[in-house]
Amino acid sequence: MKYNVFMSHLEGFVVKGQEQKVWKLLKSLYGLKQALQTWCENLTKHLMKLNFKHYDPDDATLFVKKVGKIVVYIVVNVNDILMTRNNESHIASINKELRKGFEMNDLGYVHYYLGIEVTQHSNFVFLSQKK
């Protein structure tokens, strides 16, 4: 973590005679404001090692990787990752690499994301906000 974060004793974990002391956190905890920032920084470092790039420095949510004719896009929203590509096997290798640094669940093809319903067909993808 970049910042020092301290917390008071949790109820039931107070040590007699040390009630006024606080705990210094050595790593981020889920739910802290700093946890999301730390997660995003670690994800960005990991994606950069995998040769992903930010083409718009103001948009920290979009990562793009181009290898010849293969293009992979990753969009990050809070702690959700949406990945799309023009090559199925390349996605599997990226998932494998991401799992080395992060605990992940592959939920398969997207059906609904950020208020947008996604319907995939063999020749096109249909996006709708009808829900």
What is the average per-residue pLDDT within 115-131?
85
Q: What is the pTM of this model?
A: 0.66
Give the Cα separation of 19 and 8 in Å (integer): 9
Give the Cα separation of 20 and 88 in Å (integer): 56
3-51 confidence digits (pLDDT tens)? 677 777 777 777 788 888 887 776 655 556 666 777 788 888 889 999 9
Q: How far is CA 80 from the centre of its chain?
A: 5
Task: Enter the tokens of residue 45.
Answer: 């470092």
73-100 confidence digits (pLDDT tens)? 888 887 788 888 887 777 888 888 888 8
